[in-house]
């Protein structure tokens, strides 16, 4: 069966140029970051290079050399677009230099005798840039948990053996003198397969960007904007995956209203962030911190027993005191009360209720200690030493 290679070139040109224009237009409008400019220019150049073989009958001077150089450059720019998508702050000039260097032989290499080697070189360059693109796509998929990253990796992986196969056929003289027109055999089918993936992968990075934006929106929807802790929505989603035993800690800041009244709401906000950081730094790697409301937080600790929960609570108290001392000085009056409960997560609501009750018990003890301290100021009789930071229990 013969394939019309000329039509395949036209399809690549149209699809690539359209993909490039779409990305460039979106980038110009601020919809996409700078990665879209590199990706877009790369695909526009890819489309332009696909037209070059169709213009061979015109015998334009330097047409083939320029077309091949543009083709090699286009794959380099597409790869740069992927790197920019992965890390917007990365310095790109080394990769721009590499893309220019590998394209240079295509611009200088001419002559019908070496046509097969030129085609082989170009296909090897394509395959190497595709391999590099796969590596970046896999890294993004792993680091950001983007499922579309794996799809992009597969689409670029599939073209690697096709390009290498075309290179082999070119070196062994099995491609024929004319790259366009009707062709059959394995070389033609490799070209058709590569075209199929090239046509669809032009928009693949757009799908990755859409999934990344979706993840960011989900993160914003599940994160408290002030403290960075999870919110109630995040808690409801996370509890689905909690199994087995663990512990729950309920935290509440003491004299928080007085702190706001005396030092202002900016200081109160800082205290909430200090409490969050203290909790995050103290809990186990598998634990989560959620802002329950106002100045109250809940920590869920899978696999933690009561003894470990007590030690974690002590760590939170100590870290919070250090943070507040740095903010207001060592004589600050703001403390944290903590209650905890351990047991099966099948009764998670009961654990929360129990921890909340114990937290309020501790809070009342803290108020009682503060009241005794106030009376002792006016009492000349000696009084026993008091604990400056609220206890937990």
Q: How are beta strands 288-293 and 335-344 bridged, if at all?
A: unpaired
- pLDDT of res. 352: 95
Residue with tokens 């934006």: 213
H or E, element range at 309: helix 306-328
**Sign of the dihedral through C-alpha 271, 277, 281, 283:** positive
- pLDDT of res. 113: 64
- pLDDT of res. 37: 96
Packing angle, helices 63-86 and 93-108, rounded to 10:
160
Residue 284 · residue 301 · CB < 8 Å: yes
Whose CA is closest to 178, among 80, 53, 33? 53
The CATH 3.30.70.270 portion of the chain extends over 232-378
Q: Is domain 232-378 classified as CATH 1.10.3210.10?
A: no
- Distance (Å, rounded) from C-alpha 152 to C-alpha 22? 18
- pLDDT of res. 392: 38
- pLDDT of res. 181: 63
| Sequence-distant (≥ 6) Cβ neighbours of residue 94 within 8 angstroms | none
Whose CA is closest to 392, among 330, 303, 324, 299? 299
* H helix count then E strand count, the chain: 13, 6
Residue 248 · residue 352 · CB < 8 Å: yes
The CATH 1.20.1070.10 portion of the chain extends over 3-219
Q: Is domain 3-219 classified as CATH 1.10.1380.10?
A: no
- pLDDT of res. 387: 32
pLDDT tens string, the chain, 393 residues long: the values are 777 788 888 988 999 999 999 999 999 998 899 999 999 999 999 999 998 888 877 777 888 889 999 999 999 999 999 999 999 999 999 999 999 999 999 888 776 667 888 889 999 999 999 999 999 999 999 999 999 999 999 999 999 999 999 899 988 887 766 666 666 678 788 888 888 889 889 999 999 999 999 998 888 889 998 999 999 999 999 999 999 999 999 999 998 999 988 899 999 999 999 999 999 999 978 899 999 989 999 999 999 999 999 999 999 999 999 999 999 888 788 889 999 999 999 999 999 999 999 999 988 887 655 444 444 444 444 433 333 343 333
- pLDDT of res. 363: 86
Q: How are beta strands 3-4 and 288-293 bridged, if at all?
A: unpaired
């Amino acid at each position: 069966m013969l394939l019309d290679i000329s039509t395949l070139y036209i399809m690549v040109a149209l699809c690539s140029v359209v993909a490039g224009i779409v990305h460039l237009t979106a980038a110009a409008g601020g919809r996409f970051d700078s990665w879209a400019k590199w990706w877009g220019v790369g695909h526009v150049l890819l489309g332009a290079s696909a037209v070059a073989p169709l213009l061979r009958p015109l015998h334009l001077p330097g047409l083939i050399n320029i077309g091949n150089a543009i083709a090699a450059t286009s794959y380099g720019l597409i790869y740069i677009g992927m790197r920019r998508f992965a890390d917007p702050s990365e310095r790109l000039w080394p990769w721009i230099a590499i893309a220019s260097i590998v394209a240079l032989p295509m611009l200088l290499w001419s002559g019908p005798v070496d046509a097969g080697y030129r085609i082989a070189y170009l296909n090897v360059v394509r395959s190497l840039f595709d391999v590099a693109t796969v590596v970046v796509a896999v890294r993004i998929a792993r680091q950001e948990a983007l499922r579309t990253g794996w799809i992009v990796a597969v689409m670029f992986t599939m073209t690697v053996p096709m390009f290498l196969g075309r290179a082999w056929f070119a070196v062994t003289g099995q491609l024929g003198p004319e790259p366009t027109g009707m062709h059959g055999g394995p070389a033609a089918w490799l070209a058709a397969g590569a075209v199929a993936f090239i046509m669809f992968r032009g928009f693949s990075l757009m799908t990755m960007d859409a999934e990344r934006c979706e993840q960011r929106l989900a993160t914003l929807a599940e994160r408290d904007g002030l403290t960075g802790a999870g919110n109630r929505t995040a808690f409801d989603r996370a509890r689905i995956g909690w199994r087995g035993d663990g512990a729950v800690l309920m935290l509440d800041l003491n004299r928080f209203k007085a702190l706001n009244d005396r030092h202002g709401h900016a200081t109160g906000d800082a205290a909430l962030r200090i409490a969050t950081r203290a909790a995050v730094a103290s809990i186990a790697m598998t634990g989560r911190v959620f802002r329950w409301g106002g100045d109250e937080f809940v920590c869920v600790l899978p696999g933690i027993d009561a003894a470990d929960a007590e030690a974690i609570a002590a760590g939170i108290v100590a870290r919070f005191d250090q943070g507040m001392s740095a903010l207001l000085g060592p004589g600050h009056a703001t403390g944290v009360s903590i209650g905890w409960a351990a047991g099966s997560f099948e009764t998670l609501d009961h654990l929360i209720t129990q921890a909340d009750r114990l937290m309020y018990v501790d809070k009342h003890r803290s108020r009682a200690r503060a009241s005794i301290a106030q009376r002792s100021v006016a009492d000349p009789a000696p009084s026993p030493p008091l604990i400056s930071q609220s206890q937990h229990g």
